[in-house]
Amino acid sequence: MKAFKLLKNEQGLTLVELLGSIVILSIIVISFLGFFIQSAKTTQVSDEILDGSYVAQQQAEEIYNFSHSMNYEDLISYFDGSDSYNKDGNAYVTHREGYAVRLYIEPTDNDGLYSLLIKVFDSDGKQSAQVETKFFFDEVGE
């Protein structure tokens, strides 16, 4: 009799129930997969912006350090004579860590104060970062 009861056990899953549960589970997994894909894209964009900002900040610090060892005219002469910087209109263009960096430096209306604008572009030509600051040149070489 015990063997007969084991053969009549109907507590298992049918194929339809199993397929239905797989479909429901697949729908849930696919919806979460969309969140992961969007998160990866957002992380990539954030990394690009962070890298571009780092390059812009690095360039701003370099110009700031130049302002302690040379005057404005010396800096412009340095840019004009350098192989690293190319004049393009009113900007100087250089390349750092895979980014194109455009520097705009000019005197302001205030005596001795200069404006520096740095724009960083990725390899596709899309602007990744921008830094703008104002600073004084030390009285070097005058």
- 93-125 pLDDT, tens digit each: 999 999 999 999 998 887 789 999 999 999 899
In tens, the pLDDT along 3-50 reads 556 556 567 678 888 899 999 999 999 988 988 999 999 999 899 999
User: Which single residue is written with the structure tokens 């070097």?
Assistant: 140
Closest to 87 (Cα-Cα) out of 70, 106, 102: 102
Model confidence pTM above 0.85: no
> What separation in angstroms does the CA of 107 have from each of 57, 73, 115?
20, 11, 6
CA dist., res. 138 & res. 109, Å (int): 17
Nearest to 122 by CA among 75, 73, 55: 55
Domain-wise residue ranges, the chain: 15-136
